[in-house]
Amino acid sequence: MVMLLQGKDFITAELLAHLYSSGDQSTLMEESAEEVQRRDELLNMYHATKDALKIIGDINATTSSTPVPPPVNNEWLRPEARGSSPPSPIPSRHRGSAPRPTSNAINNTGHAGVPRPSSVPLIPSRPDVPNRPGPGTAPSIP
């Protein structure tokens, strides 16, 4: 430990004075070519960063933002077979004057005999509506 302390004392007190006295001071202070290049690169990087921060500050000062609209609910869209157009949200009975096929004509196929996709559940046939009394007759009470 004593030897380390003596080495430290020698370096701080005598080595620097010895180097200045023995050599040419101009050659000791000369900057190497690599250090000149490194210093120039660091200065260029410093100036580029300073310019970039100025531009960012200008953009922040002049930019106004508007809130983003809420997302669109498109759950009514169902994936269809490839090549077909997406379904319309308007039911088909309101579109035109084409007659609606009966439940017997649909069965296990889609409209007009087109096979129904397997992901669409089958709708069972509806029961018949019971007979209703005429307008002049009152219903019987049990």
Q: Is residue 121 scored above 70 in pLDDT?
A: no
Q: What is the pLDDT of residue 46?
A: 98
pTM for the complete prediction? 0.34
Considering 36-45, 92-101, 113-122, 125-134, the range whose residues carry the highest mean pLDDT is 36-45
DSSP track, the chain: -HHHHHHHHHIIIIIHHHHHHHS-HHHHSPPPHHHHHHHHHHHHHHHHHHHHHHHHHHHHHH----PPPPPP--TT-----TTSPPPPSS-GGGT-SPPPPPHHHHTTB-GGGPBPPTTSPPPPPPPPPPP---TTPPPP--
Please provide the average confidence, as pLDDT, over all residues in the chain.
Answer: 74
